[in-house]
């Protein structure tokens, strides 16, 4: 089961509510996985055994600066989550410091701190680890520790907290505040890394996570570079960059150039949290781990593909960001393009970062260009008006707090992509995403061609292989079957695999991606050229729509499936799936 999305930001929750915890999962996988973890060869840093002693917490400090760095291996693993046990089969990261720029922000509170805490609590962060929060506010370490623990207690993303865990986690947290445009704050980050060196076995490994508004990505990257914090002589240094990566092709290229001025591409981890979702990775497992699907995965058998990311949420107080971004930048350029690329790419030579990313780039390059003049025939935009959702009246986009009067920002987009390569010639990919649709559902549906001839009076339908990315994660295959009785009547039936059959809570994508970045595995992070090609695909839409009033806005009511024109995009013989 997936966690409910929190409706309000962590910032606005004044009183820490009792969090909804992920359920504990006892599993028979546990013993097997522990054994496997112990047997693994080439394990650089085995996770602590369940009974390994945890170093005593340091004494209470009079000054934050007098604190000793204590190597902390994380508490023992009780195997509650078999997926975590599976993750343990990989190497554990080397001792490292996670530096979160923007540690006081919404994302850090709701997602990042819970994700790191979960990894640490399950002993996945190696033998020594600490976190330096960085923000513009001045705070002592103690104040930040209180702040972070409050975030953990409040966020619905936080794992079940084991007794005593929070107190031990608290001691891993440090804070530095200041203005990112000067050198001072970076100098103090450098001092933090120096201090951690002894506890970290002489290494100064650091993962810098930029959880700040995009206008600060370059500022912080430059600041780190000025102080030489990108230098890997004494330990690895990596930069994680949040989305959106640029606001158009030109600015994304400029940002890439600026980042590369300081960092080698191998040090850069651009986050797209959809790639961290188990079910998105399962796309590759299903395609390349079975022999029955891939032979059908082409123009000979596939009629079209539908990729849907529907959200029931509206703005959630993010007007400042969303008014500038809109749905094309917020969802289409990144998350949907990644889903498309993984669905349409060729088989990679190996499951490694470059092989997979090479294939994604190849298929993104093969997308038929959409210059401004083609936009009208392949894309539809929408903005929601007032409506009702789950039986309750909800305001339209233009009535949301801090949205400009008469705003032209699109909250819905549907797009037809054509792929000019041998595999997909003539097979359209239909993508749609929007806010305030009737439900939260993300799905990739591969719709197969009808049999060439129908022998049955009831006709024949198209088979559909559907990947439910979220919620109710799973995969289903729809096909026709004879109904019982004397007639040869066919009816559509469904074979359904549900992820909960594994008996475990799915990992937060941020946990997976943070751990991968700590391990230096960039497979699930878009490379420079992927981001560039994804921007190229949507550039025509931005040129045609940005700042141009759409006379018909709002053109769909909140709680409906978007503008009617999106149906016309599919032509007479196809229709959007009813989800």
Ligand X SMILES: O=C1O[C@H](COP(=O)(O)O)[C@@H](O)[C@H](O)[C@H]1O
Ligand Y SMILES: NC(=O)C1=CN([C@@H]2O[C@H](COP(=O)(O)OP(=O)(O)OC[C@H]3O[C@@H](n4cnc5c(N)ncnc54)[C@H](OP(=O)(O)O)[C@@H]3O)[C@@H](O)[C@H]2O)C=CC1
Minimal distance in Å, beta carbon 123 to ligand Y? Answer: 27
For 127, which DSSP code? S
DSSP classification of residue 499: G
Q: Is 304 designated active site? A: no
| Residue from 75, 93, 114, 135 binding ligand Y (CB under 6 A) | 135
Q: Could you identify the residue written with the tokens 């595995």?
A: 521
Residue from 38, 137, 266, 481 binding ligand Y (CB under 6 A): 137
Assess 105 for contact with ligand Y (CB under 6 A): yes
Contacts 24+ apart (CB under 8 A), 62-67: 64/140, 64/141, 64/142, 64/174, 67/141, 67/171, 67/174
Residue 214 interacts with ligand Y (CB under 6 A)?
yes
For strands 474-482 and 490-498, give the pairing. Answer: antiparallel
Report, in Å, the least distance between residue 497 CB and ligand X: 21
Query: Using CB atoms within 10 A of its CB, is residue 269 exposed (0-12), middle (13-18) or buried (19+)?
Result: buried
Residue 330 interacts with, from ligand Y, ligand X, none (CB under 5-8 Å by kind): ligand X
Site for ligand Y in 174-203 (CB under 6 A): 180
Question: In this structure, is the dihedral angle defined by the CA atoms of residues 86, 87, 90 and 92, taken in order, positive or negative?
Answer: negative
> Is 257 a known ligand-binding residue?
no
Catalytic residue among 72, 200, 304, 335: 335
The CA distance from 103 to 175, in Å, is 9
Query: Residue holding tokens 């058998």?
Result: 301
Phi, psi (rounded to 5 degrees) for 553: -70, 145
Q: Closest CB to ligand X among 5 and 260?
A: 5
CB of 389 to ligand Y, least distance (A): 20
Report the alpha-carbon distance of residue 394 to residue 338 in Å, rounded.
Answer: 31
By C-beta, is 5 or 574 nearer to ligand X?
A: 5
Q: How far apart are CA 343 and CA 445, in angstroms?
A: 10
* Partner touching 571 among ligand Y, ligand X, none, CB below 5 to 8 Å by kind: none
CA 284 to chain CA mean position, Å? 16
- Residue 323 Cβ vs ligand X, minimum distance, rounded to whole Å: 12
Give CA 245 to chain center in angstroms.
Answer: 14
* Contact status: 102 vs ligand Y (CB under 6 A): yes
Binder of residue 135, out of ligand Y, ligand X, none (CB less than 5 to 8 A by kind): ligand Y
Nearer to ligand X, 285 or 313 (CB): 313
Q: Is 277 annotated as a binding residue?
A: yes
Taking the complex as a whole, how short is the minimal distance between the CB of residue 426 and ligand X, in angstroms? 31
How many chain residues bind ligand Y (CB under 6 A)?
A: 17
User: Which CB, 137 or 388, lies closer to ligand Y?
Assistant: 137
114 binds ligand Y (CB under 6 A): no
Q: What angle do CA 185, 191, 192 make, to 5 degrees?
A: 90
Q: List the one residue from 145, 158, 211, 308 that touches ligand Y (CB under 6 A).
A: 211
**Pairing label, strands 302-310, 441-448:** antiparallel
Residues that bind ligand Y (CB under 6 A): 102, 104-108, 135-137, 180, 211-214, 216, 242-243
Going by the annotation, the residues of the binding site for substrate are 273, 277, 311, 330, 435, 440
Supply the residues annotated as catalytic. 335
């Amino acid at each position: 089961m997936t966690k409910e999305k929190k409706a309000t930001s962590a910032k606005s929750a004044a009183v820490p509510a009792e969090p909804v915890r992920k359920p504990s999962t006892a599993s028979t996988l546990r013993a097997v996985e522990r054994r496997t973890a112990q047997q693994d060869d080439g394990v650089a840093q085995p996770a602590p055994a369940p009974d390994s002693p945890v170093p005593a917490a340091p004494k209470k400090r009079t000054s934050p600066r007098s604190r000793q760095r204590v190597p902390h291996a994380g508490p023992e693993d009780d195997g509650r989550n078999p997926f975590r046990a599976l993750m343990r089969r990989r190497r554990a990261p080397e001792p490292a410091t996670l530096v979160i720029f923007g540690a006081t922000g919404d994302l850090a509170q709701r997602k990042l701190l819970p994700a790191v805490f979960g990894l640490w609590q399950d002993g996945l962060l190696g033998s020594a680890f600490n976190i330096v929060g960085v923000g513009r506010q001045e705070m002592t370490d103690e104040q930040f520790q209180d702040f972070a623990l409050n975030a953990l207690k409040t966020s619905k993303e936080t794992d079940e907290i084991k007794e005593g865990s929070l107190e031990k986690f608290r001691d891993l947290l440090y804070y530095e505040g200041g203005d990112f445009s000067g050198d001072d704050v970076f100098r103090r980050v450098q001092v933090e890394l120096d201090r951690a060196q002894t506890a970290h076995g002489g290494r100064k490994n650091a993962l810098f996570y930029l959880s700040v508004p995009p206008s600060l990505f370059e500022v912080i990257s430059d600041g780190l570079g000025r102080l030489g914090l990108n230098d890997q002589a004494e330990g690895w240094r990596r930069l994680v960059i949040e989305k959106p990566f640029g606001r158009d092709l030109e600015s994304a290229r400029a940002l890439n150039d600026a980042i590369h001025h300081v960092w080698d591409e191998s040090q850069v981890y651009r986050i797209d949290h959809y790639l961290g979702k188990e079910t998105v990775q399962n796309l590759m497992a299903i395609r390349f781990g079975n022999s029955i699907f891939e032979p059908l995965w082409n123009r000979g058998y596939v009629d079209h593909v539908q990729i849907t990311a529907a959200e029931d949420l509206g703005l959630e107080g993010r007007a400042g960001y969303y008014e500038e971004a809109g749905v094309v930048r917020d969802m289409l350029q990144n998350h949907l393009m990644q889903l498309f690329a993984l669905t349409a790419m060729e088989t990679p030579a190996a499951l490694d970062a470059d092989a997979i990313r090479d294939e994604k780039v190849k298929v993104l390059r093969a997308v038929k260009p959409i210059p401004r003049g083609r936009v009208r025939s392949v894309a539809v935009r929408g903005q929601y008006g007032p409506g009702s959702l789950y039986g309750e009246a909800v305001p339209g986009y233009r009535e949301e707090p801090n949205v400009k009067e008469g705003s032209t920002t699109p909250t819905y987009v549907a797009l037809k992509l054509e792929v000019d390569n041998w595999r997909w010639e003539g097979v359209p990919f239909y993508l749609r995403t929007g806010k305030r649709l009737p439900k939260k559902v993300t799905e990739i549906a591969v719709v197969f061609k009808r049999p060439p001839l129908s022998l049955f009076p009831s006709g024949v339908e198209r088979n559909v292989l559907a990947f439910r990315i979220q919620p109710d994660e799973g995969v289903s295959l729809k096909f026709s079957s004879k109904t019982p009785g004397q007639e040869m009547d066919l009816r559509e039936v469904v074979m359904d695999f549900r992820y909960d059959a594994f008996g475990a809570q799915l990992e937060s994508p941020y946990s997976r991606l943070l751990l991968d970045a700590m391990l230096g595995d960039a497979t699930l992070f878009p490379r420079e050229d992927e981001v560039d090609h994804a921007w190229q695909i949507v550039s025509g839409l931005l040129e045609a729509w940005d700042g141009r009033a759409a006379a018909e806005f709002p053109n769909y009511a909140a709680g409906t499936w978007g503008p009617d024109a999106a149906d016309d995009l599919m032509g007479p013989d196809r229709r959007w799936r009813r989800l």
